[in-house]
Structure 1
Amino acid sequence: MIKFFSVLCFAFVFNLNAVTAQNFSTHQVKKGETINGIASRYGVGVSDIYALNPDAKKELKANTILIIPISKAKKTEIFTTKELVGYKEHKTSRKETLYSISKRYDVTEDDIKKHNTFLYANTLNKGDKLQIPVFKIVKEEAKSVTKKYTVLPKEGKWRVAYKFGITVQELEDLNPGMGEVLQDGQEINVPNIGGDNVKVFDEKYSYYNVLPKEGFYRLKVKLGLEQAQLEALNPELKETGLKEGMVLKIPYTNSMNVAGEPIAKKTQLVTKITNFDTKHIAIMLPFRLNRVDFDSIRDVKGSIKKDPYLDASLDFYTGVLTALDSLKSLGLSVKVDVYDTKYQVSEVLKILNENNFKDVDAVIGPLTSETFDKVASELRAFHVPVISPIGTNLTLYDNVFQSRPSDDLLKDRIVNFVKADSIEKNIVIVSDTKNAAIANNLKQTFASAKAVYSRKGKTGNDLNFLYVEDIRSHLKPGRNYVFLETQSEGFASNVVSVLASLNSAATEVILVTTNFNPAFEGEQVSNDQLSKLQLHFATTTKSYEDMESNSFVKNYTKTYNATPSKRAVKGFDLTMDVVLRLATSKDLYQSVNNAPLTEHVENKFGYKKKLMGGYYNDATYIVKYQDLEIVEVK
């Protein structure tokens, strides 16, 4: 009998959920609403609502969730206006309440108080004579209940639900068959609310999707946030309370992705290869071989030293060649066309005119912005993806893949990292005049932070130093994050020395910067002090670990008798990523959805599509100095 009952319950729940997803929506009752008003709003009968919500016959409580039959609802929402036409007298009997009287006459409690003002200061008593307002209801056809919305890049169901103040389930109810993953440009139905009521998604916050049976206590345990804190970030909570599926704005945390989902896991492309057809790629680099003196090995070496573009191109290309060897060992065949762009737009046009690129699966390069822009714009007509190895300030045509994360993204990541530290902290911002704008921006983000600037000379010029007391007075017991914003090696050296002298067990100083540049790597700056201060920064690459067991390093060293440079590693990582994406998806564009995050030796790639444009890499690392090494913060 128990087994039969369990199966029956399961069947009922399953069938209800299956029907709800297709033919029903939900409505959360607000204080003062009546069943007649709700039925009128959705254009359905009262009996239709009672049939699905039998408890509503007994009492209609605020915050109760009602199931509304969409299949019977009208396409437009009907609003009602009330016109006072007279009164009914009512003498209060024992046990009657304002609520019961309001339900009896189908008016709101506020309506009764408004026409019996003594009730604002006194409770309702037996024998009170009340004037019950009688209204003439004037129905007006209003705007459509829903409207069409075009999905933006990076938008999932939870983000759209958050913007329009509904749950993910309610969004799915409005869009039967919308699919598991929203596509850029897809049209869906959303509540027809005005622009002022549409919430703005803010990258500076994280978002959490409320799970079944989660109350404020559980959220406090899980998120470390009191009810008042959640209500301050989500004012609607005061009116609606918590409900399953609603999306809450919470302080940024780097342990969760949007809506409380874990950070995207890396896709192991090597294990997902399905397409062994020959891949056709083109490599375009500014070798400028026409300027090389080939008379002797010594002359060739001299040409390489003199020409930074040739040096960079050869470094990158050695990484490409190492990647091709690795791909061959995986059973992948790659046809490679290599072109010397000579750092000239005219040469690029010549290459494009004299060669057929229609069947090329992907182009890696060119390195320089003008030549890259020309290649990308010319190949748009063939929808050939063009990948930039190093550029950031690019025109993102719809066929462009910007593999290097932008500087603005790096700044945001390190700022969010500091914000996410749950330990109570003090923020100090140190900068020179050239970086005053960055310091002011940080001050806006961290309102209580103290700003300290380089000492000035008589003419107002930066002297590029500070005294110990300039910073000591702003540090507090406990954890202190100090942002250092400068491109001056001398100033960096001075500040690092001062901070190292102030760092102690009682006053912990952690150095951070939004722009890690050569000033921090100069000879004047002590790596030992940077390690003691745990210098943190966001970067596009991390240092590869365990050289002896790294197959790429071993193969590269064996072939070229040298340790691979950063440019060689980028050539390897980018070539591996592009070809493996082609071998695991229909094309590079589809791979963005199939493999949202990939990682190789030093670089990771998490491409996001820009609205009406191409793709940019959203994946970065947070690293720090530790024991005289730079390690990833995990």
Structure 2
Amino acid sequence: MNRFLLVLVLVLAFNLYSVNAQNFSTHQVKKGETIESISKRYFVTPFDIYSLNPDAKKGLTPNTVLIIPISKSKKPKVTVVKELEGFKSHKTKRKETLYSLSKKYNVSEDDIKKYNKFLYANPLRKGDRLQIPKFKISEVVEDINPTKEYTVKPKEGKWRIAYKFGITVKELEALNPEMTEVLKAGEIIKVPNLEEEDVKEVDEKYSYYKVLPKEGFYRLKLKLGLEQSQLEDLNPGLKESGLKDGMILKIPFSNLTNGVIQADSEYINLVDSISDFKTKHIAIMLPFRINRVDFDSIADTKRSIKKDPYLSASLDFYSGVLMALDSLKTLGVSLKVDVYDTKYEVSEVSRIIKENNFEQVDAVIGPLTPASFQKVASELRVYNTPVISPIGTNLKLYDNVFQSRPSDDLLKSKILSFVRADTLKTNIIIISDTKTVAVANDIKQEFNQAKQIFSRKSKKTGEDEFFVTKEDIEAALKPGRNIVFLETKNEGFASNVTSVLASLIQKEDKELKEEEIEIVLVTTKMNSAFEGDQINNTHLSKLQFHFATTSKEYSESDNNAFVKKYDKLYNITPNKRAVRGFDLTMDVALRLVSSEDLYMSVKNAPLTAYVENKFAYKKKLFGGYFNDTAYLVKFDDLTIVEVKQ
């Protein structure tokens, strides 16, 4: 119920949704203001402002909007001062109470009693004449400098002081432009004006690591063998601030030398590459079809959602989008997000484009349906606006189109490559029904020596009966390793074949003179036939069932932050559509803030990966971009795991 109500409210308010960074505020420059005066107002240093607003070094122009980081310095004491300005007469009415009067006039009950002393001994009655005080409220803010002086201790270097005050070495140097490379004991320098309890001490029982440029938690895991959660436990405040170049981290004692070890990752972690903090403009287009929802009651609304597959799919996807937007806030990414209901109508898409300005939009995610997507892509070509398809394949790739879902041909190619790469002496068998004969014949052309088995047909009607016998398969098997292609969209046939195959696996028995028979099951097209109630996952695990997929399944043992947060918010684990909404939105937004635009990100970030999906865009010679990467996975002990190639 919580998830239903929350998502419904979010959808109803979607057209008002806009995102700004949580860890930052903004300031509109007024005439005569300087960086120094602004930094004092927000209790940050000029360096803090320049780091997020490099153009400000050239000078400030009135009405320019600056990004201001939330200060870590000691917060000023704010004193509220109340000054009595006069009174308002009030004659008590029936059922009025001191509480209701305090709310009505925005004063406390004690203030009313103070100026109507008879109320200390008597209850409030109808007809009582009261003097209600009127106050002038003002705030007095204590003047606190965001920095303070610090005396360098013997043998104390830059990294130790930076660690103590929760800043990077670069930030410490910016606070002290005259600072020399080697500090001297007794030297006076500037440091953030933190509360005493927020100043950390260096513990010699631990080692300390200086974060290198563009280094993320994944790289640190490879280098240091520490999970993100372990680093956050050792370094309070890291969860809120994230990793920064030059940051000093406490780690378990080791012989590592700061900043020396290198570790390269297959994937580009775009969180480490955020460089543009200007607000990006994204549009989301989904077929909510809110106009068709019956809002007379919660039961009617729920019934509408269940009956409308487009609304249901849109809600799932959008719930993931919202989680991504929230995560992006914490990274300091500022977004303006417009959400449109396409109503599953091309005419509605035309109206949206006509009545809204898309010239300054940095990217459009959606629509979901092919005709609507093609309309948006073709209309926005004139602005060169990137349009990203969440689920479509075999799209018309205009030069502004990004097909984020890998094609079926790519998935098929990945499985064929896996079988070709098998260096063992392997017997290959292809099993198919009458509806997948063409696919089976294509596989046969790839593997000429493969044996083909077709499902049995009715002797009376000649129609496919979607089953094979144990003898059919047994005749094609050989001792040793057998790779079996199963090509079908029929759940009953898939259940029949997997059950028979699982029964034919045997271990070597020298006494009985039985040779080992290993069977590895594969398919070029994973579909619902392999996921139905008739399918025994124990059989699939026993057969090491391999297939290529656009997304891998997250593991609950991964302790993924997105999955945990989603479950807490909606009281349900995210389905594939929700995860895709999260992954795709994260990728698009991070590409925009780490490169000049989405097109340049294709070169700068050749491969990215998130919870379940990864993206590696390639450009057609004459056309747009397609995702050229997919996962190879297999069933292993009743779970689906990625197969490294």
Q: Is the structural similarity TM-score above 0.5?
A: yes
CA distance in 1, matches of 2:364, 2:531: 34
CA distance in 2, matches of 1:594, 1:287: 34
Within a 5 Å distance, the mapping from 1:428-439 to structure 2 comes to 428-439=429-440
Deviation at 1:541, TM superposition (A): 0.4
CA distance in 1, matches of 2:528, 2:425: 31
Within a 5 Å distance, the mapping from 1:570-609 to structure 2 comes to 570-609=580-619
Deviation sequence 1:214-259 (CA, Å, 0-9, x none): xxxxxxxxxxxxxxxxxxxxxxxxxxxxxxxxxxxxxxxxxxxxxx
CA distance in 2, matches of 1:470, 1:557: 47
Show the counterpart of 2:425: 424
Show the counterpart of 2:359: 358
Show the counterpart of 2:572: 562
Deviation sequence 1:108-165 (CA, Å, 0-9, x none): xxxxxxxxxxxxxxxxxxxxxxxxxxxxxxxxxxxxxxxxxxxxxxxxxxxxxxxxxx
Show the counterpart of 1:610: 620
Q: Is the 8 A contact 1:365 1:372 kept in 2?
A: yes
Show the counterpart of 2:549: 539
Tell me, yes or no, if structure 1 residue 303 matches structure 2 residue 304. yes
SS of 1:338's partner is strand
Within a 5 Å distance, the mapping from 1:128-147 to structure 2 comes to none
Show the counterpart of 1:344: 345
CA distance in 2, matches of 1:596, 1:272: 13
Deviation at 1:462, TM superposition (A): 1.2
Tell me, yes or no, if structure 1 residue 549 matches structure 2 residue 559. yes
- Counting aligned pairs with the same residue, the percent is 68
Q: Is the 8 A contact 1:431 1:486 kept in 2?
A: yes
SS of 1:277's partner is coil
Tell me, yes or no, if structure 1 residue 522 matches structure 2 residue 532. yes
SS of 1:290's partner is helix
CA distance in 1, matches of 2:450, 2:442: 11
Deviation at 1:497, TM superposition (A): 1.1
Tell me, yes or no, if structure 1 residue 410 matches structure 2 residue 420. no
SS of 1:265's partner is coil
CA distance in 2, matches of 1:594, 1:326: 22
Q: Is the 8 A contact 1:547 1:553 kept in 2?
A: no
Q: Is the 8 A contact 1:581 1:591 kept in 2?
A: yes
SS of 2:458's partner is coil
CA distance in 2, matches of 1:523, 1:275: 49
Q: Is the 8 A contact 1:547 1:554 kept in 2?
A: no
Q: Which amino acid aligns with 2:389?
A: S
Show the counterpart of 1:14: none
CA distance in 1, matches of 2:290, 2:622: 38
SS of 2:364's partner is strand
CA distance in 1, matches of 2:268, 2:600: 14
Show the counterpart of 1:130: none
Show the counterpart of 1:503: 505
Show the counterpart of 1:445: 446
Aligned residue among 471, 483, 486 for 2:488: 486
Q: Is the 8 A contact 1:426 1:481 kept in 2?
A: yes
Within a 5 Å distance, the mapping from 1:137-216 to structure 2 comes to none
CA distance in 1, matches of 2:378, 2:314: 22
Show the counterpart of 1:284: 285
SS of 2:348's partner is helix
Q: Which amino acid aligns with 1:350?
A: R
CA distance in 2, matches of 1:547, 1:480: 32
Tell me, yes or no, if structure 1 residue 387 matches structure 2 residue 397. no
Deviation at 1:358, TM superposition (A): 0.4
The gaps in structure 2 that reach 5 residues or longer are 1-263, 508-515
SS of 1:616's partner is strand
Pick closer, same or farther for the CA change 1:312–1:547 going to 2, 3 Å.
farther
Show the counterpart of 1:162: none
SS of 2:566's partner is helix
CA distance in 2, matches of 1:449, 1:360: 52
Q: Is the 8 A contact 1:264 1:597 kept in 2?
A: no
SS of 2:285's partner is strand
Q: Is the 8 A contact 1:264 1:596 kept in 2?
A: no
CA distance in 2, matches of 1:266, 1:287: 34
Show the counterpart of 1:317: 318
Deviation sequence 1:303-341 (CA, Å, 0-9, x none): 101111000001100100000000000011110000000
CA distance in 1, matches of 2:452, 2:265: 36
CA distance in 1, matches of 2:586, 2:369: 21
Pick closer, same or farther for the CA change 1:533–1:525 going to 2, 3 Å.
same
CA distance in 2, matches of 1:463, 1:304: 37
SS of 2:453's partner is strand
Deviation at 1:559, TM superposition (A): 1.6
CA distance in 2, matches of 1:497, 1:559: 40
SS of 2:445's partner is helix
Deviation at 1:393, TM superposition (A): 2.2
Deviation at 1:548, TM superposition (A): 6.4
CA distance in 1, matches of 2:556, 2:529: 27
Deviation sequence 1:482-510 (CA, Å, 0-9, x none): 00001111111111111111112301000
Q: Which amino acid aligns with 1:599?
A: A
Within a 5 Å distance, the mapping from 1:451-490 to structure 2 comes to 451-458=452-459, 459-490=461-492
Q: Give the RMSD, CA atoms, in angstroms.
A: 1.2
Deviation at 1:580, TM superposition (A): 0.2
Deviation at 1:471, TM superposition (A): 1.0
The gaps in structure 1 that reach 5 residues or longer are 1-262
Deviation sequence 1:586-605 (CA, Å, 0-9, x none): 00000000000000000000
Deviation at 1:475, TM superposition (A): 1.0
Q: Which amino acid aligns with 1:475?
A: L
Deviation at 1:630, TM superposition (A): 1.2
Deviation at 1:441, TM superposition (A): 0.6
Q: Which amino acid aligns with 2:415?
A: I
Deviation at 1:545, TM superposition (A): 2.1
Show the counterpart of 1:624: 634
After superposing on structure 2, the runs of 4+ consecutive aligned residues of structure 1 that deviate more than 4 Å are none
Q: Which amino acid aligns with 2:408?
A: D
Deviation at 1:375, TM superposition (A): 0.2
CA distance in 2, matches of 1:386, 1:289: 23
Deviation at 1:264, TM superposition (A): 8.7
CA distance in 2, matches of 1:315, 1:363: 18
Q: Which amino acid aligns with 2:444?
A: K
CA distance in 2, matches of 1:387, 1:628: 34
CA distance in 2, matches of 1:612, 1:584: 26
SS of 2:462's partner is coil
Deviation at 1:546, TM superposition (A): 3.3
